Structure 1
Amino acid sequence: MAMSTDKQLLIVEDDEGFARTLKRSFERRGYDVLSADSLETVTALLASRRPSFAVVDLKLGAQSGLACVQALHEHDPSMVIVVLTGFASIATAVEAIKLGATNYLAKPSNTDDIEAAFARSGGNPDAPLAPRPTSIKTLEWEHIHEVLKDSDFNISEAARRLGMHRRTLARKLAKRQVG
């Protein structure tokens, strides 16, 4: 029972359980849901399908979801793309938006959050510009995530570039992970 493509959604997520839960939840809301777990699967699906919406996990195993965001946006610039991540940082949010994402959500996010993000695909020029004090810990966190992004989310390589032991970096990531 294929539905019209105006509510066709592609979920790009390598966590099978989470992907299955999201798929069922969106199907109950009337979406025709496709699933992929890698850039290769996304590319194969785009050969025959044209989803209007996409939810992309930032970290797909050893791959970065940013490549999927780029491929989806190049395929259809009007597609509404929401990036989900358990490793939220300003650096990856900026890259996701530059590559075509319309929104960026930290995990845990549910179907309501994602659907609200679909509706907020435009920017808000009235967003408050309140000054936010930046702590040393926040600066460290941002730097770690910039290096992680630059090393394609390879923890061993990021630890080497940061000059710290791999296990130390893994502990820092586990402690601050959002979701």
Structure 2
Amino acid sequence: MKKLLIIEDDVAFATTLARRMTKHGFHCQQVHQADQALHACLQQKPDCILLDMKLAKDNGLLLIKPIRASLPKVKIVLLTGFASVATAVQAMRLGADDYLAKPVNTQMLLTALGSAPVAQKVPSLDSEIMSAERVEWEHINQVLNSNAGNVSETARQLGMHRRTLQRKLQKKPVSK
């Protein structure tokens, strides 16, 4: 039985994840605060970790390197409600094994954790096509990330008004 540590500040969502993953043979533990996450990793020595990117006021990305340093073979999957190419690249560079946007279905979780049947691991071409709004949002977030979150400089580089950029950043695009 694989040990799974769920680091998620939303207690209800973490409980739902734990229930779903337990049905697929995982022994699940939960941590709801960033300051307890590293201690739980060292104590429990999980095989896999589901890590939320936003943990209350903390950033889950900052936990990837210390977790990877203490548990080099652990499978780390970053979960986020506000996925972007920029944060996905950043997560992978820091050492995450996978990056999934919420809401996430059980099959996607199993695939990311390496527990899905082999036939299910091949993604369909249709699932990779993004809408124009999504592509624009991804590009904006990539430029914003390269400017270290500076909205004014990002707006100048993209040739748009700062308020327009702020409105676009507040809208979460649909996944397709």
Shorter-chain TM-score tier: 0.7 to 0.9
Deviation of 1:146 after TM superposition, in Å, equals: 5.2
Superposed, 1:138-157 pairs within 5 Å as 138-139=135-136, 141-144=138-141, 147=144
**TM-score w.r.t. structure 2 length?**
0.72
Stretches of structure 2 that go unaligned for 5 or more consecutive residues are 116-122, 124-128, 156-161
- Equivalent residue for 1:34? 29
Superposed CA deviations along residues 32-70 of structure 1, whole A, max 9, x for unmatched, are 111122321112212321000011112222221111222
- Cα RMSD (Å) of the superposition? 3.4
Describe the shift of the 1:109–1:137 C-alpha distance in structure 2 as closer, same or farther (beyond 3 A).
closer
Counterparts of 1:109-124 in structure 2, within 5 Å, are 109-119=104-114
Q: 1:86, 1:108 within 8 Å by CA — same for their partners in 2?
A: yes
Distance in 1 separating the partners of 2:83 and 2:14:
19
**What corresponds to 1:154 in structure 2?**
none
- Assess if the C-alpha contact under 8 Å between 2:9 and 2:55 holds in 1: yes
1:169 aligns with 2:166: yes
2 CA distance for matches of 1:67 and 1:149? 17
Structure 1 match to 2:90 = 95
Taking structure 1 as reference, are residues 26 and 175 closer, same or farther at Cα in structure 2, changes over 3 Å only? closer
Structure-1 separation of matches of 2:6 and 2:86: 23
Contact 2:53 2:60 survives alignment (8 Å): yes
1:109 positional shift: 0.6
Task: Give the aligned partner of residue 57 of structure 1.
Answer: 52
Change (3 A) 1:15 1:168: farther
Match of 1:69 among 64, 72, 77: 64
Change beyond 3 A, Cα 1:148–1:75: same
In structure 1, list runs of 5 or more residues that go unmatched.
1-5, 121-126, 152-156
DSSP-derived class of the 2:25 partner? coil
Note the alpha carbon deviations across 1:4-46, whole angstroms, 9 max, x for none: xx61101111111111100111122221111122321112212
Describe the shift of the 1:140–1:29 C-alpha distance in structure 2 as closer, same or farther (beyond 3 A).
closer
Letter aligned with residue 170 of structure 2: L
Rounded Cα–Cα distance in structure 1 between residues aligned with 2:146 and 2:77: 18
Equivalent pairs: percent with the same residue?
Answer: 29
Distance 1:20 1:112 in 2: 17
- Where relative contact order (Cα < 8 A, 6+ residues apart) is larger, the structure is 1
Q: CA offset at residue 141 of structure 1?
A: 3.5
